[in-house]
């Protein structure tokens, strides 16, 4: 059986897995500067030893609500430079076996059983792209306000 070394990212009640090769480091409660005018999926910018790294809302990126700034940030290597995913619990290593089934959310690549838990494998090559992140930008409509 082929196995895959991954890091598990707790996001609310969900558990997501990313292949370990993507992970650069994990930070606890990083200080964030809000990036004004950015899409909601972008929680802000953090200073990673002089490098300015965007922090993304993992849940919002997947379209399953929001995790907020989270307790931890998992910094990923991407072809566009480093990017961090906000997660709500401490990421941990895990070995995944064969998938137990497909997953439905775009940007995911199957579900895996881990004892009594289910981990959904993230397809970061799909998820961490400018198109995906920029696609969360809101488009405003006409203006008409009445406030008493």
Partner 1 sequence: MVGLNVDQVRILFSQEATVRLAQLGQLLLQLEQIGSDETLIRSIFREIHTLKGSAAVAGLAEVSECAHDLEELVEDLRTGRRSAAPDVIDTLLAGADRLAALIASHWREGETSATGDPLQRTAQSSRVNVEHPARTRHRARVGHELLSGDPTHRGDAEPAKRPGPAARMLPAAAVALAPSDSATAAGGVIMVPTARLEELTRMVGESASAHLRIGKMLKDRFGVDPGSCPEFNELSRSLNDLQDRATRTQMVPVATVTDQLQRGVRDLSRAQGKEVRWETRGVDTEMDRGVLHQLADSLLHLVRNAVDHGIEPVAERLAAGKPAHATIRLHAMQLGSEVIIAISDDGRGIDTVGISRRAARHGIDSEGFSEEDLLGLIFSPGLSTTDFVTDVSGRGIGLDVVRTNVEAARGRVEVRSEHGAGTEFRIIVPITLAVLRCLLVEAGGQRFALPFHRVVLSKADDPAMRAHAEGRPVLLVDNQPVPVTTLTQTLGTGSAEPVVGPIVVLADTSRRHAFQVDRLVGQRDVVLKTLSRLLPHLPAVAGASVEPDGSVLLVLDPPGLIHRARQAGRGAAVAPAQRPDGPRGRILVVDDALTVRELQRSILERAGFLVRVASDGSQAMSKLAEEPSDLVLTDIEMPTMDGFALTAAIRAHPSLANIPVLILSSRSSEADRRRGLDVGADGYIIKSGFDEASLLTAVNRLLGASA
CB atoms near residue 129 (< 10 Å): 15
Report, in Å, the least distance between residue 80 CB and partner 1.
4
Q: Does 127 bind partner 1 (CB under 8 A)?
A: no
Q: DSSP for 72-94? A: EEEEE--TTS-EEEEESS--EEE
Q: Does 138 bind partner 1 (CB under 8 A)?
A: yes
Please give the Cα distance from 65 to 45 (Å, whole number). Answer: 20
Per-residue x/- track, 42-81, partner 1 (CB under 8 A): x-xxxx-xxxxxx-----x-----x-----------x-xx
CB 55 within 8 A of CB 30: yes
* Residue count, binding to partner 1 (CB under 8 A): 43
Report, in Å, the least distance between residue 69 CB and partner 1.
10
């Amino acid at each position: 059986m082929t196995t895959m070394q991954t890091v598990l990212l707790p996001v609310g009640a969900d558990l997501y897995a990313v292949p370990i090769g993507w992970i650069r480091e994990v930070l606890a409660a990083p200080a964030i500067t809000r990036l004004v005018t950015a899409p909601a999926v972008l929680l802000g910018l953090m200073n990673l030893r002089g490098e300015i790294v965007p922090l993304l809302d993992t849940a919002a990126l997947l379209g399953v609500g929001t995790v907020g700034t989270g307790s931890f940030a998992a910094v990923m290597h991407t072809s566009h430079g480093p990017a961090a995913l906000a997660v709500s619990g401490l990421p941990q290593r895990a070995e995944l076996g064969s998938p137990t089934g497909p997953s439905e959310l775009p940007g995911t690549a199957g579900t895996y059983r881990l004892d009594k838990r289910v981990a959904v494998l993230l397809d970061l090559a799909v998820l961490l792209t400018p198109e995906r992140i920029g696609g969360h930008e809101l488009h405003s409509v006409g203006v008409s306000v009445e406030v008493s």
